Amino acid sequence: MARHTELERKYDADADFVLPDLEVRVGAPATHTLQARYFDTEDLRLAARGITLRRRQGGDDAGWHLKLPAGQNTRSEIHLPIGESERTVPAQLATLVTAHTRGRPLLPVAEVETRRIERPLLDEDGRVLAKLADDTVHAHPFGPGGGEVRLMTWREIEVEAVTASDDFLAAVGDHLLAAGARQAAARSKLARTLETVPSAAPPPETGTAGDVLVTSLREHFAAMLAYDPPVRLADHDDDSVHKMRVAVRRMRSLLRTHRNMIDAARAAGLDTELKWLADALGEVRDLEVLRARFERRLAQAPDADPGPSWLAGMAAEELRARDRLREALSTPRYLALLDSVDAFLAAPPLLPRRAGRPARTETANAVTKAWRTMLRRHARAAGLPAGPARDAALHRTRKAAKRARYTAEAAAPTLGSPAGKLARRAERLQDLLGAHQDGVVAAERLAELARRPGTPAAEAFVLGRMTEWEERDRERTLRDLPGAVKKAAKRKPLRRLGKN
């Protein structure tokens, strides 16, 4: 399975459009005929999320292609060999879109034939910066049962980066637009072929506290789904586990900080299942963080073995945790969780008396309440002597800071700059307390490694030095904490919430 990131810009053009001078060296053209069959569920669940899955023949990259949105003008593309079957999606690719299909069969939904004239765009030394594809497209969308319903024809131009930046693509695009091309009306050939794709966009907001909550939950759920395929693919820390875990945590935080406006039983049931998923992601993420931290620590000790057996053991432990996570993402429980979130967002179980109030009052109250909880927890922790009890109390403060931050960030589009300022202050507290907690966990793990029977004296010495460094860094973090708390305790942003 091959992977790469696709960066491209697309333009529509009339049949008589003439390519202008692009002010860059253009290589000799090559002509290809590409035939692609696209697959989706009957209700087009992949297309609704901007995902394309196809089997393509012709050109220099024939095979199965799965394209996943990865940012502005960017998609993550996964390739498999073309194989013999024309109608059965390879299991490896079908698994990657499980979060969207949820057991529904993948069927042919369209066929597209493209006559492509491709030209390389070169730098002064003849190296390829990008490829310009001038495509004449003939598309057949399928109706129910797989029958063809109509023929569509159009011309489009794609500029895809090889080594170039998006700024280079934009400059080429400016020349095309000036010559009469237009920004593409659809994000992909499939989207244009299908013409009517189910929309995953949220309904218009009406300005209530419930709207703010549901809009934010919907955004985080979309992020969670977007990171599902990279998490299934990852065999190392590519940040996908972290980002999926953050999306899940944000959803849990919002359910808790807004619990007075949601049906309690529905919110509790959903929170329980989201916690299960967060724990599965957390097992991998915690090992990622620890192992990377210890690698950095070892680099500080030039006389230490850079690859001790205990570190290799942690790497193996992380791989086993990844396997368990993939198993969790393939269970009926996970798919049921996704269906539960869909049902929750489709018909939010909101309590009208609270959720129907204007966001500028009720959402502001939720932010204020989360903020005060954070400060109370810190006050309790600050009153404890150094030791495990204080460490645990500071960890609880960190969780409260995270909830305060997430609640303020969700409110910022409605409540404006005061909520944004509170979110930044909570993030500062969260970062400091997170650094402290990471140090606590790291020191405990180092001590456990040093106590293992058979640990060589040289390794035990290095582990002891690393433990000292962790303790020193924790003390430094705690020295910075009072200033961050003092800033967070300033009341002006809280007083301004909802008054802009």
User: What's the pLDDT score for residue 409?
Assistant: 93
Instruction: Give the list of residues 6+ apart from residue 352 with CB closer than 8 angstroms, or none.
Output: none
User: What's the pLDDT score for residue 199?
Assistant: 53
Is position 202 within any domain?
Answer: no
pLDDT exceeds 80 at position 93: yes
Query: Are 302 and 388 found together in one domain?
Result: yes
Confidence of residue 120 (pLDDT cuts 50, 70, 90): very high
Record the pTM: 0.88
- Total domain count for the chain? 2
Instruction: Encode pLDDT of 32-67 as tens digits.
Output: 999 999 999 999 999 988 899 999 999 888 999 999
Percent over 70 (pLDDT), the chain: 96
pLDDT exceeds 90 at position 144: no
Confidence of residue 500 (pLDDT cuts 50, 70, 90): low
- Residue 284, domain CATH: 1.40.20.10
Mean pLDDT of 248-274: 95
pLDDT exceeds 80 at position 124: yes
Dihedral (CA of 123, 127, 130, 135) sign: positive
Q: When comparing pLDDT for 150 and 284, which is higher?
A: 284
User: What's the pLDDT score for residue 496?
Assistant: 85
Percent over 90 (pLDDT), the chain: 73
394, HSE (Cβ side, Cα atoms, 13 Å) = 29
Mean pLDDT of 401-423: 92
Q: Which of 159, 194, 229 is the last residue of a domain?
A: 194
pLDDT exceeds 70 at position 148: no
User: What's the pLDDT score for residue 499?
Assistant: 64
Q: How far apart are CA 56 and CA 79, in angstroms?
A: 10
Output the average pLDDT for the chain: 91
Amino acid occupying residue 396: R
User: What's the pLDDT score for residue 460?
Assistant: 86
- Domain range for 290: 209-496
Q: When comparing pLDDT for 48 and 302, which is higher?
A: 48
Query: Are 113 and 257 found together in one domain?
Result: no
Query: Are 281 and 410 found together in one domain?
Result: yes
Query: Are 187 and 335 found together in one domain?
Result: no
Q: How far apart are CA 350 and CA 347, in angstroms?
A: 9
User: What's the pLDDT score for residue 239?
Assistant: 92
CA-to-CA separations, 489 to 373, 378, 405, 429, in angstroms, rounded: 12, 11, 14, 11
- Residue 22, domain CATH: 2.40.320.10
Query: Are 129 and 253 found together in one domain?
Result: no
